[in-house]
Structure 1
Amino acid sequence: MASSITLPSPAKLNLFLHVVGKRPDGYHELQTLFQFLDYGDTIRFTLTPEHPGVRLESPIPGVADRDNLVIRAAQTLASIAEHPLPGVTIRIDKRLPMGGGLGGGSSNAATTLVGLNWLWQLGLSEEALAEIGLSLGADVPVFVRGQAAFGEGVGEILTPANPPEDWFVVLKPDCNINTGKIFSTEGLTRDTAKIKIRPAFEGDASRYRNDCEDVVRKLYPEVNQSLDWLSQFGPARLTGTGACIFGRFPTESAARIIWESKPSGITGFVAKGVNISPLHQKLTELK
Protein backbone atom coordinates (compact mmCIF):
# COMPACT_ATOMS: atom_id res chain seq x y z
CA MET A 1 0.00 0.00 0.00
CA ALA A 2 1.33 3.45 -0.97
CA SER A 3 1.68 5.87 1.92
CA SER A 4 0.86 9.09 0.07
CA ILE A 5 -0.47 10.49 -3.19
CA THR A 6 -0.67 13.99 -4.67
CA LEU A 7 -3.52 14.70 -7.09
CA PRO A 8 -4.90 17.66 -9.05
CA SER A 9 -8.29 19.13 -8.20
CA PRO A 10 -9.23 21.03 -11.36
CA ALA A 11 -11.62 23.87 -12.06
CA LYS A 12 -14.67 23.51 -14.29
CA LEU A 13 -16.56 25.95 -16.46
CA ASN A 14 -20.26 25.96 -17.22
CA LEU A 15 -19.98 26.75 -20.93
CA PHE A 16 -23.66 27.55 -20.73
CA LEU A 17 -26.25 27.33 -17.94
CA HIS A 18 -29.98 27.27 -18.67
CA VAL A 19 -32.61 27.25 -15.92
CA VAL A 20 -35.45 25.21 -17.41
CA GLY A 21 -37.81 24.85 -14.44
CA LYS A 22 -38.27 24.60 -10.69
CA ARG A 23 -38.96 21.36 -8.85
CA PRO A 24 -41.47 20.88 -6.01
CA ASP A 25 -38.56 20.53 -3.55
CA GLY A 26 -37.39 24.06 -4.42
CA TYR A 27 -34.35 23.07 -6.46
CA HIS A 28 -34.03 24.39 -10.00
CA GLU A 29 -33.91 22.17 -13.07
CA LEU A 30 -30.86 22.98 -15.15
CA GLN A 31 -29.21 22.21 -18.46
CA THR A 32 -25.51 22.93 -18.67
CA LEU A 33 -22.29 21.95 -20.40
CA PHE A 34 -19.36 21.16 -18.11
CA GLN A 35 -15.76 21.36 -19.25
CA PHE A 36 -12.63 21.05 -17.08
CA LEU A 37 -9.62 23.37 -17.06
CA ASP A 38 -5.98 22.36 -16.80
CA TYR A 39 -5.76 24.61 -13.73
CA GLY A 40 -6.83 24.11 -10.14
CA ASP A 41 -5.87 23.11 -6.63
CA THR A 42 -3.53 20.31 -5.60
CA ILE A 43 -4.29 17.90 -2.76
CA ARG A 44 -1.81 15.62 -1.01
CA PHE A 45 -3.05 12.65 1.02
CA THR A 46 -0.63 11.07 3.51
CA LEU A 47 -1.52 7.97 5.53
CA THR A 48 -0.86 8.28 9.27
CA PRO A 49 -1.34 4.84 10.85
CA GLU A 50 -0.13 6.26 14.16
CA HIS A 51 -2.87 8.93 14.12
CA PRO A 52 -6.37 7.59 13.34
CA GLY A 53 -9.00 9.76 11.75
CA VAL A 54 -9.00 12.52 9.16
CA ARG A 55 -7.24 15.83 9.58
CA LEU A 56 -6.33 18.82 7.44
CA GLU A 57 -2.71 19.90 7.61
CA SER A 58 -3.88 23.53 7.45
CA PRO A 59 -7.57 24.26 8.05
CA ILE A 60 -9.16 26.64 5.55
CA PRO A 61 -9.83 30.00 7.24
CA GLY A 62 -13.51 30.57 7.90
CA VAL A 63 -14.55 27.00 7.04
CA ALA A 64 -15.41 24.68 9.94
CA ASP A 65 -14.53 21.00 9.57
CA ARG A 66 -18.22 20.08 9.56
CA ASP A 67 -18.72 22.33 6.52
CA ASN A 68 -15.55 21.31 4.70
CA LEU A 69 -16.40 19.03 1.79
CA VAL A 70 -12.95 17.41 1.89
CA ILE A 71 -13.38 16.34 5.51
CA ARG A 72 -16.95 15.20 4.87
CA ALA A 73 -15.91 13.20 1.80
CA ALA A 74 -13.08 11.47 3.67
CA GLN A 75 -15.23 10.70 6.70
CA THR A 76 -18.02 9.32 4.52
CA LEU A 77 -15.61 6.93 2.82
CA ALA A 78 -14.14 5.87 6.16
CA SER A 79 -17.62 5.20 7.57
CA ILE A 80 -18.49 2.66 4.86
CA ALA A 81 -15.19 0.77 4.92
CA GLU A 82 -15.47 -2.85 6.02
CA HIS A 83 -12.28 -2.75 8.06
CA PRO A 84 -10.39 -0.17 10.16
CA LEU A 85 -8.43 2.30 8.06
CA PRO A 86 -5.21 4.16 8.78
CA GLY A 87 -5.62 7.84 9.50
CA VAL A 88 -4.91 10.41 6.81
CA THR A 89 -3.54 13.93 6.78
CA ILE A 90 -4.72 16.08 3.87
CA ARG A 91 -2.88 19.09 2.52
CA ILE A 92 -4.77 21.40 0.14
CA ASP A 93 -2.79 23.89 -1.95
CA LYS A 94 -5.50 26.34 -3.01
CA ARG A 95 -5.43 28.30 -6.22
CA LEU A 96 -9.14 28.37 -7.04
CA PRO A 97 -11.13 31.23 -5.50
CA MET A 98 -13.96 30.30 -3.17
CA GLY A 99 -17.40 31.22 -4.48
CA GLY A 100 -16.16 31.75 -8.02
CA GLY A 101 -18.43 29.32 -9.87
CA LEU A 102 -15.41 27.17 -10.76
CA GLY A 103 -16.49 24.23 -8.61
CA GLY A 104 -13.49 24.38 -6.28
CA GLY A 105 -15.17 22.82 -3.25
CA SER A 106 -16.91 20.14 -5.31
CA SER A 107 -13.67 19.36 -7.13
CA ASN A 108 -11.82 19.06 -3.81
CA ALA A 109 -14.48 16.63 -2.56
CA ALA A 110 -14.26 14.54 -5.74
CA THR A 111 -10.46 14.39 -5.63
CA THR A 112 -10.74 13.25 -2.01
CA LEU A 113 -13.20 10.48 -2.87
CA VAL A 114 -11.17 9.27 -5.84
CA GLY A 115 -7.79 9.68 -4.12
CA LEU A 116 -8.68 7.97 -0.87
CA ASN A 117 -10.50 5.16 -2.68
CA TRP A 118 -7.12 4.50 -4.36
CA LEU A 119 -4.92 5.10 -1.32
CA TRP A 120 -7.09 3.12 1.11
CA GLN A 121 -7.60 0.41 -1.55
CA LEU A 122 -11.36 0.39 -1.04
CA GLY A 123 -12.15 -0.80 -4.56
CA LEU A 124 -15.32 1.28 -4.93
CA SER A 125 -16.60 1.77 -8.47
CA GLU A 126 -16.85 5.16 -10.15
CA GLU A 127 -20.63 4.79 -9.97
CA ALA A 128 -20.49 4.28 -6.20
CA LEU A 129 -18.15 7.24 -5.73
CA ALA A 130 -20.40 9.47 -7.87
CA GLU A 131 -23.39 8.47 -5.74
CA ILE A 132 -21.51 9.40 -2.57
CA GLY A 133 -20.44 12.62 -4.27
CA LEU A 134 -24.02 13.60 -5.06
CA SER A 135 -24.81 13.48 -1.34
CA LEU A 136 -22.12 16.15 -0.88
CA GLY A 137 -23.11 18.44 -3.76
CA ALA A 138 -24.70 18.45 -7.21
CA ASP A 139 -21.41 19.26 -9.00
CA VAL A 140 -19.34 16.54 -7.31
CA PRO A 141 -20.37 13.67 -9.66
CA VAL A 142 -19.02 15.34 -12.82
CA PHE A 143 -15.62 15.71 -11.14
CA VAL A 144 -15.73 12.09 -9.96
CA ARG A 145 -16.49 10.85 -13.48
CA GLY A 146 -13.88 13.12 -15.04
CA GLN A 147 -15.44 13.55 -18.50
CA ALA A 148 -16.80 16.80 -19.96
CA ALA A 149 -20.54 16.40 -19.97
CA PHE A 150 -23.97 17.78 -20.77
CA GLY A 151 -25.65 18.06 -17.35
CA GLU A 152 -29.36 17.97 -16.53
CA GLY A 153 -31.50 17.74 -13.39
CA VAL A 154 -29.66 19.76 -10.74
CA GLY A 155 -26.53 19.04 -12.78
CA GLU A 156 -26.11 15.40 -11.78
CA ILE A 157 -27.62 13.67 -14.86
CA LEU A 158 -24.58 13.51 -17.11
CA THR A 159 -24.10 12.68 -20.78
CA PRO A 160 -20.47 12.68 -22.01
CA ALA A 161 -19.61 15.52 -24.39
CA ASN A 162 -16.54 16.71 -26.28
CA PRO A 163 -16.55 20.50 -26.76
CA PRO A 164 -13.50 22.09 -28.42
CA GLU A 165 -10.51 22.24 -26.08
CA ASP A 166 -9.93 25.97 -26.50
CA TRP A 167 -8.07 28.43 -24.27
CA PHE A 168 -9.81 30.62 -21.73
CA VAL A 169 -9.19 33.87 -19.92
CA VAL A 170 -10.87 33.52 -16.53
CA LEU A 171 -11.38 36.65 -14.42
CA LYS A 172 -12.44 36.87 -10.76
CA PRO A 173 -14.03 40.23 -9.95
CA ASP A 174 -13.57 41.39 -6.38
CA CYS A 175 -16.87 40.19 -4.92
CA ASN A 176 -18.41 37.06 -3.40
CA ILE A 177 -21.75 35.92 -4.77
CA ASN A 178 -24.50 34.29 -2.74
CA THR A 179 -25.89 31.45 -4.85
CA GLY A 180 -29.10 31.23 -2.82
CA LYS A 181 -29.72 34.91 -3.41
CA ILE A 182 -29.35 34.49 -7.16
CA PHE A 183 -31.75 31.55 -7.40
CA SER A 184 -34.33 33.26 -5.16
CA THR A 185 -34.33 36.55 -7.09
CA GLU A 186 -37.71 37.20 -8.70
CA GLY A 187 -36.19 38.34 -12.00
CA LEU A 188 -34.34 35.07 -12.66
CA THR A 189 -35.37 33.34 -15.89
CA ARG A 190 -36.75 29.92 -14.92
CA ASP A 191 -38.46 28.75 -18.10
CA THR A 192 -35.80 28.52 -20.79
CA ALA A 193 -36.87 25.93 -23.36
CA LYS A 194 -35.04 22.62 -23.04
CA ILE A 195 -32.56 21.73 -25.75
CA LYS A 196 -31.56 18.35 -27.13
CA ILE A 197 -28.54 16.57 -25.71
CA ARG A 198 -26.00 18.12 -28.00
CA PRO A 199 -22.91 20.16 -27.18
CA ALA A 200 -23.30 23.94 -27.25
CA PHE A 201 -20.69 24.26 -29.98
CA GLU A 202 -23.00 22.69 -32.57
CA GLY A 203 -25.04 25.25 -34.47
CA ASP A 204 -25.55 28.85 -33.39
CA ALA A 205 -23.73 29.38 -30.10
CA SER A 206 -25.60 32.67 -29.54
CA ARG A 207 -28.62 30.59 -28.51
CA TYR A 208 -26.73 29.48 -25.42
CA ARG A 209 -26.20 31.66 -22.37
CA ASN A 210 -26.05 31.69 -18.60
CA ASP A 211 -29.53 32.45 -17.29
CA CYS A 212 -28.07 33.71 -14.01
CA GLU A 213 -25.94 36.34 -15.72
CA ASP A 214 -28.49 39.18 -15.98
CA VAL A 215 -29.37 38.88 -12.28
CA VAL A 216 -25.71 38.77 -11.25
CA ARG A 217 -24.92 41.79 -13.44
CA LYS A 218 -27.63 43.83 -11.69
CA LEU A 219 -26.68 42.79 -8.16
CA TYR A 220 -22.89 42.86 -8.53
CA PRO A 221 -21.47 45.87 -10.43
CA GLU A 222 -17.96 44.37 -10.34
CA VAL A 223 -19.13 41.42 -12.43
CA ASN A 224 -21.00 43.71 -14.81
CA GLN A 225 -17.90 45.84 -15.39
CA SER A 226 -15.66 42.81 -15.93
CA LEU A 227 -18.09 41.25 -18.41
CA ASP A 228 -18.32 44.52 -20.33
CA TRP A 229 -14.53 44.70 -20.53
CA LEU A 230 -13.94 41.08 -21.58
CA SER A 231 -16.80 41.23 -24.11
CA GLN A 232 -14.76 43.69 -26.18
CA PHE A 233 -12.64 40.75 -27.34
CA GLY A 234 -15.39 38.22 -28.04
CA PRO A 235 -18.27 36.52 -26.21
CA ALA A 236 -17.79 36.54 -22.43
CA ARG A 237 -19.92 34.62 -19.98
CA LEU A 238 -20.49 33.93 -16.30
CA THR A 239 -19.68 30.43 -15.04
CA GLY A 240 -22.16 28.88 -12.61
CA THR A 241 -23.63 31.65 -10.48
CA GLY A 242 -20.26 33.47 -10.53
CA ALA A 243 -18.37 35.48 -9.65
CA CYS A 244 -15.86 34.25 -12.25
CA ILE A 245 -16.32 35.07 -15.91
CA PHE A 246 -14.58 33.65 -18.96
CA GLY A 247 -13.77 34.39 -22.58
CA ARG A 248 -12.85 31.71 -25.12
CA PHE A 249 -9.83 32.02 -27.45
CA PRO A 250 -8.42 29.68 -30.10
CA THR A 251 -4.79 29.79 -28.94
CA GLU A 252 -2.81 30.30 -25.76
CA SER A 253 -1.03 33.32 -27.23
CA ALA A 254 -4.33 35.02 -28.08
CA ALA A 255 -5.60 34.42 -24.55
CA ARG A 256 -2.41 35.71 -22.95
CA ILE A 257 -2.48 38.94 -24.97
CA ILE A 258 -5.92 39.71 -23.52
CA TRP A 259 -4.84 38.56 -20.06
CA GLU A 260 -1.90 40.97 -20.05
CA SER A 261 -4.22 43.88 -20.82
CA LYS A 262 -6.76 43.20 -18.05
CA PRO A 263 -7.72 46.06 -15.71
CA SER A 264 -5.73 46.37 -12.49
CA GLY A 265 -7.27 44.89 -9.37
CA ILE A 266 -8.81 41.88 -11.13
CA THR A 267 -7.36 38.44 -10.43
CA GLY A 268 -7.70 35.34 -12.57
CA PHE A 269 -5.72 33.08 -14.87
CA VAL A 270 -5.32 31.64 -18.36
CA ALA A 271 -6.08 27.93 -18.81
CA LYS A 272 -6.84 25.33 -21.46
CA GLY A 273 -10.18 23.59 -21.60
CA VAL A 274 -9.84 19.81 -21.36
CA ASN A 275 -12.46 17.09 -21.77
CA ILE A 276 -10.70 14.52 -19.59
CA SER A 277 -10.12 15.79 -16.06
CA PRO A 278 -6.47 16.29 -15.03
CA LEU A 279 -7.36 14.16 -11.98
CA HIS A 280 -8.17 11.18 -14.20
CA GLN A 281 -5.16 11.82 -16.42
CA LYS A 282 -2.98 11.58 -13.32
CA LEU A 283 -4.66 8.40 -12.09
CA THR A 284 -4.10 6.80 -15.51
CA GLU A 285 -0.37 7.47 -15.08
CA LEU A 286 -0.43 5.70 -11.70
CA LYS A 287 -2.00 2.50 -13.05
Structure 2
Amino acid sequence: MVEYSEIAFAKINLALHVRKRRYDGYHDIETLFAFAQDGDILNARPAKDLSLEIVGPFGADLNADENNLVLKAALSLQAHFGVKQGAAIRLDKRLPIASGIGGGSADAAATARLLNKLWTLGASERELADILAPLGADIPACVFSRPSFGSGTGTALAFLDDSNVPARHLLLVNPLQSVSTAAIFQAWGGIDGGAVGRGDMWDATITGRNDLEPIASKICPVITDILTQLAQAEPSMVRMSGSGATCFALFDDVTSLEAARARLEPHWWSMASVLR
Protein backbone atom coordinates (compact mmCIF):
# COMPACT_ATOMS: atom_id res chain seq x y z
CA MET A 1 0.00 0.00 0.00
CA VAL A 2 1.26 3.47 -0.88
CA GLU A 3 2.51 5.55 2.03
CA TYR A 4 4.00 9.02 2.10
CA SER A 5 6.22 10.68 4.68
CA GLU A 6 7.03 14.28 5.58
CA ILE A 7 9.28 15.96 8.15
CA ALA A 8 7.73 18.75 10.20
CA PHE A 9 10.88 20.86 10.25
CA ALA A 10 11.56 22.63 13.54
CA LYS A 11 11.07 26.40 13.19
CA ILE A 12 13.66 28.83 14.52
CA ASN A 13 13.09 32.54 15.07
CA LEU A 14 16.57 33.93 14.48
CA ALA A 15 15.15 37.30 15.52
CA LEU A 16 11.69 38.31 16.73
CA HIS A 17 10.74 41.96 17.20
CA VAL A 18 7.31 42.84 18.57
CA ARG A 19 6.18 46.12 16.98
CA LYS A 20 2.68 46.82 18.30
CA ARG A 21 -0.53 45.43 19.73
CA ARG A 22 -3.37 45.08 17.27
CA TYR A 23 -7.05 45.84 17.79
CA ASP A 24 -7.88 42.14 17.29
CA GLY A 25 -5.74 41.02 20.24
CA TYR A 26 -2.82 39.84 18.12
CA HIS A 27 0.52 41.58 17.72
CA ASP A 28 2.36 42.90 14.71
CA ILE A 29 5.82 41.35 14.64
CA GLU A 30 8.88 41.16 12.46
CA THR A 31 10.79 37.92 12.48
CA LEU A 32 13.49 36.01 10.67
CA PHE A 33 12.36 32.44 10.12
CA ALA A 34 14.83 29.60 9.65
CA PHE A 35 14.29 25.84 9.81
CA ALA A 36 16.17 22.80 11.03
CA GLN A 37 16.67 19.73 8.89
CA ASP A 38 14.93 17.69 11.58
CA GLY A 39 11.66 17.65 13.49
CA ASP A 40 8.54 15.58 13.96
CA ILE A 41 7.80 12.92 11.33
CA LEU A 42 4.41 12.30 9.74
CA ASN A 43 3.28 9.39 7.60
CA ALA A 44 -0.02 8.89 5.79
CA ARG A 45 -1.63 6.09 3.80
CA PRO A 46 -5.01 5.80 2.07
CA ALA A 47 -8.02 5.04 4.27
CA LYS A 48 -11.78 5.38 4.16
CA ASP A 49 -11.88 7.89 7.04
CA LEU A 50 -9.51 10.33 8.67
CA SER A 51 -7.59 8.99 11.66
CA LEU A 52 -4.57 10.06 13.68
CA GLU A 53 -2.14 7.95 15.65
CA ILE A 54 0.41 9.75 17.81
CA VAL A 55 3.65 8.08 18.93
CA GLY A 56 7.13 9.23 19.85
CA PRO A 57 8.88 10.71 22.89
CA PHE A 58 6.27 13.46 23.32
CA GLY A 59 3.28 11.62 21.88
CA ALA A 60 1.65 11.09 25.26
CA ASP A 61 1.38 14.87 25.69
CA LEU A 62 -1.08 15.23 22.79
CA ASN A 63 -4.62 14.10 22.11
CA ALA A 64 -5.57 12.69 18.72
CA ASP A 65 -8.89 14.53 18.63
CA GLU A 66 -10.51 17.28 16.55
CA ASN A 67 -8.51 19.94 18.42
CA ASN A 68 -5.21 18.56 17.13
CA LEU A 69 -3.72 20.76 14.42
CA VAL A 70 -2.91 17.74 12.27
CA LEU A 71 -6.58 16.80 11.99
CA LYS A 72 -7.60 20.45 11.65
CA ALA A 73 -5.25 20.78 8.68
CA ALA A 74 -6.57 17.58 7.12
CA LEU A 75 -10.18 18.69 7.55
CA SER A 76 -9.37 22.10 6.06
CA LEU A 77 -7.94 20.46 2.95
CA GLN A 78 -10.91 18.12 2.66
CA ALA A 79 -13.33 21.02 2.86
CA HIS A 80 -11.43 23.27 0.47
CA PHE A 81 -10.90 20.67 -2.25
CA GLY A 82 -14.05 18.62 -1.68
CA VAL A 83 -12.03 15.50 -0.91
CA LYS A 84 -14.07 12.39 -0.11
CA GLN A 85 -11.06 10.21 0.70
CA GLY A 86 -9.70 9.69 4.17
CA ALA A 87 -6.18 9.06 5.42
CA ALA A 88 -4.53 7.14 8.21
CA ILE A 89 -2.03 9.63 9.61
CA ARG A 90 0.75 8.79 12.03
CA LEU A 91 2.60 11.51 13.93
CA ASP A 92 5.96 10.67 15.49
CA LYS A 93 6.18 13.52 18.02
CA ARG A 94 9.86 14.20 18.60
CA LEU A 95 9.77 17.91 19.52
CA PRO A 96 8.63 19.16 22.94
CA ILE A 97 5.13 20.61 23.23
CA ALA A 98 4.62 24.40 23.43
CA SER A 99 8.32 25.01 23.02
CA GLY A 100 8.64 27.96 20.63
CA ILE A 101 9.90 25.94 17.68
CA GLY A 102 6.62 25.58 15.83
CA GLY A 103 5.84 21.99 16.72
CA GLY A 104 2.07 22.08 16.18
CA SER A 105 2.33 24.56 13.31
CA ALA A 106 5.03 22.51 11.62
CA ASP A 107 2.91 19.37 12.07
CA ALA A 108 -0.08 21.06 10.42
CA ALA A 109 2.11 22.31 7.57
CA ALA A 110 3.67 18.89 7.03
CA THR A 111 0.20 17.34 7.05
CA ALA A 112 -0.82 19.65 4.22
CA ARG A 113 2.25 18.74 2.16
CA LEU A 114 1.66 15.07 2.95
CA LEU A 115 -2.00 14.97 1.95
CA ASN A 116 -1.33 17.10 -1.11
CA LYS A 117 0.70 14.13 -2.35
CA LEU A 118 -1.53 11.37 -1.01
CA TRP A 119 -4.71 12.89 -2.44
CA THR A 120 -2.96 14.16 -5.62
CA LEU A 121 -4.41 17.63 -5.09
CA GLY A 122 -1.77 19.40 -7.16
CA ALA A 123 -1.86 22.44 -4.87
CA SER A 124 1.05 24.85 -4.69
CA GLU A 125 2.75 25.60 -1.38
CA ARG A 126 1.29 29.10 -1.57
CA GLU A 127 -2.21 27.68 -1.87
CA LEU A 128 -1.64 25.33 1.06
CA ALA A 129 -0.28 28.21 3.14
CA ASP A 130 -3.33 30.35 2.39
CA ILE A 131 -5.74 27.54 3.26
CA LEU A 132 -4.06 26.84 6.59
CA ALA A 133 -3.33 30.45 7.63
CA PRO A 134 -6.52 30.73 9.77
CA LEU A 135 -5.26 27.85 11.91
CA GLY A 136 -2.14 29.63 13.17
CA ALA A 137 0.20 32.50 12.38
CA ASP A 138 3.34 30.33 12.05
CA ILE A 139 1.76 27.75 9.75
CA PRO A 140 2.32 29.54 6.41
CA ALA A 141 6.05 29.89 7.13
CA CYS A 142 6.17 26.23 8.14
CA VAL A 143 4.48 25.15 4.89
CA PHE A 144 7.40 26.62 2.94
CA SER A 145 10.02 25.85 5.62
CA ARG A 146 12.39 28.29 3.93
CA PRO A 147 14.39 31.21 5.31
CA SER A 148 12.03 34.16 5.28
CA PHE A 149 11.15 37.53 6.75
CA GLY A 150 7.76 37.46 8.42
CA SER A 151 5.70 40.54 9.22
CA GLY A 152 2.18 41.37 10.33
CA THR A 153 1.22 38.46 12.56
CA GLY A 154 4.01 36.51 10.86
CA THR A 155 1.93 35.37 7.89
CA ALA A 156 3.22 38.00 5.41
CA LEU A 157 6.38 36.35 4.08
CA ALA A 158 9.32 37.48 1.99
CA PHE A 159 11.81 34.71 1.19
CA LEU A 160 15.46 35.37 1.99
CA ASP A 161 18.83 34.22 0.75
CA ASP A 162 20.59 32.63 3.72
CA SER A 163 23.74 31.62 1.85
CA ASN A 164 25.72 34.21 3.83
CA VAL A 165 24.83 32.59 7.18
CA PRO A 166 28.22 31.12 8.15
CA ALA A 167 27.23 29.10 11.24
CA ARG A 168 24.74 26.40 10.28
CA HIS A 169 25.22 23.74 12.93
CA LEU A 170 22.21 24.11 15.21
CA LEU A 171 21.79 23.04 18.82
CA LEU A 172 18.30 23.24 20.34
CA VAL A 173 17.85 23.05 24.12
CA ASN A 174 14.61 22.95 26.10
CA PRO A 175 14.21 22.55 29.89
CA LEU A 176 11.00 20.52 29.40
CA GLN A 177 8.97 23.35 30.87
CA SER A 178 6.22 24.70 28.64
CA VAL A 179 5.38 28.40 28.59
CA SER A 180 2.18 30.06 27.45
CA THR A 181 2.57 32.04 24.24
CA ALA A 182 -0.56 34.04 25.04
CA ALA A 183 0.68 34.93 28.54
CA ILE A 184 4.07 36.03 27.25
CA PHE A 185 2.63 38.25 24.52
CA GLN A 186 0.17 39.68 27.03
CA ALA A 187 3.09 40.64 29.28
CA TRP A 188 4.87 42.53 26.50
CA GLY A 189 5.40 46.11 27.68
CA GLY A 190 4.18 47.80 24.50
CA ILE A 191 7.49 49.51 23.69
CA ASP A 192 8.58 49.18 20.06
CA GLY A 193 12.31 48.54 20.08
CA GLY A 194 12.68 48.99 16.32
CA ALA A 195 12.60 46.99 13.13
CA VAL A 196 14.48 43.88 12.09
CA GLY A 197 17.31 44.76 9.72
CA ARG A 198 16.73 44.13 6.04
CA GLY A 199 19.18 43.02 3.40
CA ASP A 200 21.97 40.84 4.74
CA MET A 201 20.30 38.02 6.70
CA TRP A 202 23.25 37.29 8.96
CA ASP A 203 23.74 40.95 9.88
CA ALA A 204 20.01 41.20 10.62
CA THR A 205 20.27 38.10 12.79
CA ILE A 206 23.27 39.25 14.79
CA THR A 207 21.91 42.76 15.35
CA GLY A 208 18.42 41.47 16.07
CA ARG A 209 16.85 40.30 19.30
CA ASN A 210 13.92 38.33 20.66
CA ASP A 211 11.61 40.74 22.46
CA LEU A 212 9.88 37.83 24.19
CA GLU A 213 13.09 36.44 25.69
CA PRO A 214 13.26 38.64 28.82
CA ILE A 215 9.55 38.09 29.45
CA ALA A 216 9.79 34.32 29.12
CA SER A 217 12.92 34.27 31.28
CA LYS A 218 11.00 35.88 34.15
CA ILE A 219 8.22 33.31 33.86
CA CYS A 220 10.65 30.41 33.33
CA PRO A 221 14.01 31.40 34.90
CA VAL A 222 15.81 28.27 33.67
CA ILE A 223 15.80 29.87 30.21
CA THR A 224 18.48 32.25 31.50
CA ASP A 225 20.50 29.28 32.75
CA ILE A 226 20.33 27.63 29.32
CA LEU A 227 21.31 30.80 27.48
CA THR A 228 24.22 31.36 29.87
CA GLN A 229 25.48 27.82 29.50
CA LEU A 230 25.22 27.93 25.72
CA ALA A 231 27.02 31.27 25.58
CA GLN A 232 29.95 29.80 27.51
CA ALA A 233 30.55 27.49 24.54
CA GLU A 234 31.21 30.61 22.42
CA PRO A 235 28.82 29.86 19.57
CA SER A 236 28.37 32.28 16.69
CA MET A 237 25.07 33.26 18.28
CA VAL A 238 22.69 32.16 21.02
CA ARG A 239 19.06 33.18 21.55
CA MET A 240 15.62 31.96 22.57
CA SER A 241 13.25 30.93 19.77
CA GLY A 242 9.66 32.15 19.55
CA SER A 243 7.96 32.49 22.91
CA GLY A 244 10.24 29.82 24.41
CA ALA A 245 11.26 27.91 26.26
CA THR A 246 13.53 26.41 23.59
CA CYS A 247 16.87 28.16 23.15
CA PHE A 248 19.28 27.66 20.28
CA ALA A 249 22.92 28.18 19.44
CA LEU A 250 24.59 28.24 16.03
CA PHE A 251 28.09 26.82 15.63
CA ASP A 252 30.62 26.84 12.82
CA ASP A 253 31.33 23.12 13.13
CA VAL A 254 29.82 19.97 14.55
CA THR A 255 32.75 19.37 16.93
CA SER A 256 32.07 22.63 18.79
CA LEU A 257 28.36 21.82 18.88
CA GLU A 258 28.87 18.36 20.36
CA ALA A 259 31.28 19.72 22.95
CA ALA A 260 28.65 22.25 24.03
CA ARG A 261 25.95 19.59 24.07
CA ALA A 262 28.04 17.34 26.30
CA ARG A 263 28.14 20.07 28.97
CA LEU A 264 24.37 20.55 29.14
CA GLU A 265 22.32 19.52 32.15
CA PRO A 266 21.27 15.89 31.55
CA HIS A 267 17.61 16.57 32.37
CA TRP A 268 17.31 19.15 29.58
CA TRP A 269 16.09 18.07 26.15
CA SER A 270 18.44 18.81 23.28
CA MET A 271 18.62 18.15 19.56
CA ALA A 272 21.54 18.65 17.19
CA SER A 273 20.72 19.55 13.61
CA VAL A 274 21.70 21.91 10.80
CA LEU A 275 19.89 24.77 9.13
CA ARG A 276 18.20 23.53 5.97
Q: State whether TM-score is above 0.5.
A: yes
CA contact (8 A) 1:33 1:199 kept: no
2: distance between equivalents of 1:217 and 1:101?
13
Alignment of 1:38-117 (within 5 A): 38-48=37-47, 52-58=48-54, 60-61=59-60, 62-63=62-63, 65-82=65-82, 84-85=84-85, 87-117=86-116
The answer for the alignment partner of 2:260 in structure 1 is: 258
CA shift digits 1:215-256 (9 cap, x unpaired): 111111221211121122234210000010011111111111
The answer for the alignment partner of 1:122 in structure 2 is: 121
CA shift digits 1:92-148 (9 cap, x unpaired): 111111111111111110111111111101122222211112111111111212321
The answer for the alignment partner of 1:181 in structure 2 is: 183
Please tell me the residue identity of whatever aligns with 1:114: R
2: distance between equivalents of 1:30 and 1:244?
19
CA 1:230–1:66: 2 relative to 1, 3 Å: same
2: distance between equivalents of 1:240 and 1:230?
17
CA 1:203–1:113: 2 relative to 1, 3 Å: closer
The answer for the alignment partner of 1:131 in structure 2 is: 130
2: distance between equivalents of 1:266 and 1:91?
26
The answer for the alignment partner of 1:238 in structure 2 is: 240
2: distance between equivalents of 1:176 and 1:76?
28
**Identical residues among aligned pairs (%):** 32
2: distance between equivalents of 1:204 and 1:71?
34
CA contact (8 A) 1:40 1:95 kept: yes
Say how many residue pairs are matched.
Answer: 267
SS of aligned partner of 2:228 = helix
Structure 1: gaps of 5 or more residues: 275-287
Cα drift, residue 35 of structure 1: 0.6
CA 1:6–1:54: 2 relative to 1, 3 Å: same
Please tell me the residue identity of whatever aligns with 2:226: S
CA shift digits 1:191-237 (9 cap, x unpaired): 121245334412682x3110001111111122121112112223421
2: distance between equivalents of 1:179 and 1:238?
13
CA contact (8 A) 2:7 2:39 kept: yes
Q: Root-mean-square deviation (CA), in Å?
A: 1.9
The answer for the alignment partner of 2:198 in structure 1 is: 197
CA shift digits 1:1-36 (9 cap, x unpaired): x73211211101000100011111121111111111
SS of aligned partner of 2:250 = strand
TM-score by length of 1: 0.87
Alignment of 1:141 onto 2:137:
no
Structure 2: gaps of 5 or more residues: none
1: distance between equivalents of 2:265 and 2:80?
49
